[in-house]
Amino acid sequence: MLAHVDAGKTTLIESLLFRTGAVRKLGSVDAGDSHLDFNELEQRRGITIYAKQAMVEFGGAELTLIDTPGHVDFSSEAERTLQVLDYAVLVVDANSGVRGHTETLWRLLEHRGIPTFVFANKMDLAVRTREDVMEELRGRLSDACLDFSDLGMTRLQDGAMEPCSPEELAEACAATDETALDEYFEKGKISASTLRRLVAERSVFPCFFGSALKLDGIDELLGAIAALVAEKAYPAEFGARVFKISHDPAGARLTWMKVTGGVLEVKQPVEFATIHGVITEKANQIRRYSGSKSEAVPTCVASQVCAVTGFSHTSVGMALGSEAEAVMATGDGDAPRPYKPALVPTLASSVIPNGCDVRAVHAALNQLTDEDPLLGAQWSERLQELQVQVMGAIQLEVLQATLKERFDLDVSFGPSGVLYRETIEEPVTGIGHFEPLRHYAEVHLRIEPLPPGSGVRFGTCCHVDELDLNWQRLILTNAMEREHLGVLIGAPITDVRITLIGGRAHDKHTEGGDFRQATYRAIRQGLMQAKSVLLEPWSRFSLRVPADRVGRAFSDLQLMGARYDTPKTEGDFTVIEGVAPAGEIGGYAVQLSSYTHGMGSLSLEFHGYEPCHNAQEIIDAAAYDPEADLANTPDSVFCSHGAGRTVKWDEVAKAAHVKPNPATFTAWREATPEFFGNLTP
């Protein structure tokens, strides 16, 4: 269940729970007694912060509903659930229509290939007609959005729901698919199985209308879900996908997963690959949750969602068992995709301990980072402070309250600043050498630019005859174990591929830590040679202003360096959509409210990282000296006359011992968990 904030998603779930008999009393977000927003912070703020599940039965189908946050600050929590969904219900406020975050969710669902139902909520308050809403859905989401309000239902003897489409709906559905069209021409209708296939293949998106608060349209939505979802066939071998990590009130670590094959049993050993090799852990306890209540069960079968204790090395997005094999499949469009978040934090803030033990604060933040990897809590050696990455101010407030309630740590946060990144324009080769007395390691890495949004990828094309596979694994493990900083302002690098192309160890003197030092220095030495580019986050915006204030809006957008499309007129208002630097437009809502007297509205979504519009200004203000950053030195250490001596980064290539030969390079192999887990090359 997905939606923009305040669209009424949690109220809709309450209505679904009530109409299916899962609860006896309707909960309310305003009253703070909704069955899924049971966390104290959620009740206090009246918003969903954490994804939670509930199980219902209707029309012969057992359904697991997952409620997700609608607020942009917690959108990463919603995104993580997408990897385990069979279907989605996208809730739209019929009054405010399709918002910026609604479109973001739609794109994420499209990227994951998830069949989607749409429910237009608050129709009892809407000033627009059903036709108006449908026109917007078709215009801003997809032409395949069809009004399914008139879908007929037949209840079979076993209680299952069978859909029956009237002629006009059948014709509209048939027009989306050649096979369905042939069937319609031949029989004058389309079958229930064809309807299910069209929904499952995202050829049509059934749309429904109602009011969750007044239970209007709930039965129609429930019946359609039960009738139109197609039960999947799962492999017999155990497989699962991890979508969430949390801790229960007693502190036990919970790994939330959907079983995608076979059966998971209590005490069953489960193997999974990490960058540290293959690890085997046992499922100590299996819990199935519905709201705040949980039940310990002996097994969890394919299609079910459960929380498991006993796994200490799992992480969000990890594929287990047969699921991992499916992820590695190539050329199969139906194969599950590895988890890579599309929504990322754009703000960074320093943590102020307020007298608390810094080590305790760091440990608490590490646990929260385990639950939300995008939090990115880390210690900055250069600034001598803890830092966190967040989506927005409300997430910081929730984080502060969480640290107090769960860990009794009273901390605060410094002002949030834009989270800059750095990348490079052209490929370079970085060399790192570490050879103090009785130590030895040399590493050669190729650093290449990647398209925007690619992140940092690691791999090797070094032949095992040139460098033993175990050393290659160690080098890439060292490269992947931390963020690497650029040389412009010391911001993390992104959109690059780092490839191991050569290296050398010594039979007697090489220790594991030697390669760590050589690897760090190689990356840094390469960046010092590169032509670096400072990146900043950009936001996609939708700005709605009264027509007589549009001149001011255009002037402000131009000053921000924004790019925008041709404005659209909606009655007495003008809607401007485009992209702008997040640091410029992030606080614009206050100005907008002032000069439009509260009549203007601004919707923002993360667009991606682009070259900084005022890069030199930011670089000058940072006054960062990459050679003075000793924790990220680009220099190498060579042995001379029985002692180590430092060689400056621009002289390392001349002193290097290894000359990689491109003729010996193998095909590029990515440093996936499977690469580290295999015992043979």
625-638: pLDDT as tens digits: 999 999 899 999 99
**8 A C-beta contact, residue 564 and residue 581:** no
Question: What's phi and psi for 324, nearest 5 deg?
Answer: -65, -40
Average pLDDT over residues 427-436: 96
Strand 532-546 relative to strand 601-611: parallel, antiparallel, unpaired? antiparallel
Interatomic CA distance for residues 204 and 142, integer angstroms? 9
Q: Is the dihedral of CA 480, 481, 482, 488 positive or negative?
A: negative
Give 91's strand partners. Answer: 3, 119
Give 499's strand partners. Answer: 446, 459
Q: Is the predicted pLDDT of residue 331 greater than 60, yes or no? A: no
236-279 pLDDT per residue, tens: 999 999 999 999 988 899 999 999 999 999 999 998 877 666 78
Query: pTM of this prediction?
Result: 0.81
Question: What's phi and psi for 81, nearest 5 deg?
Answer: -75, -20
Strand 421-424 relative to strand 253-261: parallel, antiparallel, unpaired? unpaired
**Residue 641 CA neighbour count, 13 Å, CB half:** 1
The DSSP element (H or E) to which 516 belongs, if any, is helix 512-529
Q: Is the predicted pLDDT of residue 357 greater than 90, yes or no? A: yes
The DSSP element (H or E) to which 633 belongs, if any, is none
Residue whose token pair is 């988890």: 339
CATH architecture of 535-617: 2-Layer Sandwich (3.30)
Q: How far is CA 314 from CA 68, 309, 370, 476, 569, in A?
A: 22, 11, 9, 20, 50
Q: Is the predicted pLDDT of residue 126 greater than 90, yes or no? A: no
Distance from the Cα of residue 267 to its chain's centroid: 31
**8 A C-beta contact, residue 446 and residue 435:** no
**8 A C-beta contact, residue 102 and residue 4:** yes
211-244 pLDDT per residue, tens: 999 999 999 999 999 899 988 889 999 999 999 9
CATH architecture of 347-418: 2-Layer Sandwich (3.30)
Residue 498, classed as helix, strand or coil, is: strand
Report the pLDDT value the prediction gives residue 340, as an integer from 0 to 100.
72
Name every residue whose Cβ is closer than 8 Å to that of residue 36 and which is 6 or more positions away in sequence. Answer: 10, 13, 14, 48, 52, 54, 67, 291
Report the pLDDT value the prediction gives residue 164, as an integer from 0 to 100.
81
N-term to C-term CA, the chain? 43
Question: What's phi and psi for 161, nearest 5 deg?
Answer: -100, 135
Instruction: Kindly give the interhelix angle for 192-200 and 167-174, rounded to the nearest 10 degrees.
Output: 50
Report the pLDDT value the prediction gives residue 652, as an integer from 0 to 100.
96
Q: Is the predicted pLDDT of residue 328 greater than 60, yes or no? A: no
Class of domain 2-228: alpha beta
Report the pLDDT value the prediction gives residue 238, as an integer from 0 to 100.
93
Report the pLDDT value the prediction gives residue 587, as an integer from 0 to 100.
82
Interatomic CA distance for residues 558 and 61, integer angstroms? 54
Task: Using a pLDDT cut of 70, give the percent of the chain over it.
Answer: 95
SS (H, E, C) 225-293: HHHHCCCCCCCCCCEEEEEEEEECCCCCEEEEEEEEECEEECCCEEEEEECCEEEEEECCEEEEEECCE
88-103 pLDDT per residue, tens: 999 999 988 888 788 8
Q: Residue 333: which pLDDT band, with cuts at 50, 70 and 90?
A: very low
Q: Is the dihedral of CA 174, 175, 177, 181 positive or negative?
A: positive
Residue whose token pair is 């969480």: 402
Q: Compare 50 and 400 and report the one with higher pLDDT.
A: 400
Q: Is the predicted pLDDT of residue 330 greater than 50, yes or no? A: no
Residue whose token pair is 């989607």: 116
Q: Residue 336: which pLDDT band, with cuts at 50, 70 and 90?
A: very low
Instruction: Give the domain ranges of the chain.
Output: 2-228, 239-327, 347-418, 422-533+640-677, 535-617
442-487 pLDDT per residue, tens: 999 999 999 998 899 999 999 999 999 999 999 999 999 888 999 9
Question: What's phi and psi for 202, nearest 5 deg?
Answer: 60, 30
Q: Which option is the CATH number for 239-327: 3.40.50.300, 3.90.380.10, 3.30.460.80, 2.40.30.10? A: 2.40.30.10
Structure tokens at 673: 């968990």
Interatomic CA distance for residues 396 and 646, integer angstroms? 43
Q: Compare 230 and 524 and report the one with higher pLDDT.
A: 524
Average pLDDT over the chain reads 89
Report the pLDDT value the prediction gives residue 329, as an integer from 0 to 100.
47
Average pLDDT over residues 654-675: 92
Strand 88-93 relative to strand 116-121: parallel, antiparallel, unpaired? parallel
Q: Residue 677: which pLDDT band, with cuts at 50, 70 and 90?
A: low
Domain 422-533+640-677 part of CATH 3.30.470.20: no
11-66 pLDDT per residue, tens: 999 999 999 988 888 877 666 677 777 777 777 777 888 888 988 888 888 889 99
